[in-house]
Structure 1
Amino acid sequence: MTQATPTTPEGQALYLQLKAKLHDVVPDVELRYKAEIAAEVNRLKVERNAVILGHNYME
């Protein structure tokens, strides 16, 4: 099975950042998937002049 690489330069850059920090914790296929989603969210934020509010609760 081949793994898809991020399709945009932004997705590739985010993937490399995630991989550098999380390679020993998160599977590569998941890093690639999340990088593409993050790139799309960032694109939409700029396109729509939006801000994403969020909070992550950790125990």
Structure 2
Amino acid sequence: NFAKSLLDVADNLGRASSVVKDSFQKIDPTKDSSGAVPLLKTLLEGVEMTDKQLIE
């Protein structure tokens, strides 16, 4: 049961990473008045680090 839960978490991290990467492609950094690009970059880095630690 614990292993299945970890697999579910890993799957969700993968989905989160994909969504954030897709969001990057939709944002024109020159028109990013909301400051979303740096926030998305930080979010992606955090998700990828967490995923990497989970795999190890």
Bigger CA radius of gyration: 2
TM-score, normalising length from structure 1?
Answer: 0.39
TM-score, normalising length from structure 2?
Answer: 0.41
RCO (CA 8 Å, sep 6+): is it higher in 1 or 2?
A: 2
Larger helix percent: 2
